Amino acid sequence: MKDGTYQFVVTANSGAVEALATLAGGAIDGASLGYEFGGRLTAIGDRVEGVITAVWTGSLPPSLGMFKSISVHVNGPYDPVTGGFTLEGQVSGHHVVAIKVVATPVHS
């Protein structure tokens, strides 16, 4: 897993958003229309694990579900050829939220 800019496609419930996120030293900092993303990831061999946070900052109904903020433990495979990774996790609470993040490096 390399530092750099990634395109995130985040899906939860029946919605999806695209975001740009910077990964530096395992820390995530990203945003999309209506959301801010953060967290920390660690590469362990051909796997990635960590925590992703999503905070709804918009005024329209959120596209990922009816939560203002969420912190999800995620894990999934890392592809050393493309540099991308796919993460999945689930949170149970007031309602169940399953989240999936597909991250693709952005090359300039």
Q: What does each C-alpha distance from 31 to 5, 8, 35, 53, 65 come to in angstroms?
A: 12, 9, 6, 11, 17
Q: Which residues pair with 103 in a beta bridge?
A: 8, 85
Best CA proximity match to 97, nearest among 65, 52, 63, 75: 65
Taking residues 86-99, report their average pLDDT. Answer: 79
Average pLDDT along the chain: 89
Residue 80 binned pLDDT confidence (cut-offs 50, 70, 90): confident
pTM: 0.87
Taking residues 68-86, report their average pLDDT. Answer: 91
Domain span at residue 89 reads 4-105
High-pLDDT (> 70) share of the chain, %:
94
Number of domains in the chain: 1
Domain CATH number, residue 83: 2.40.128.380
Q: Is the pLDDT of residue 21 over 90?
A: yes
* pLDDT for position 99: 86
Our CA dihedral for 108, 103, 22, 19, rounded to 10 degrees, sits at: 90
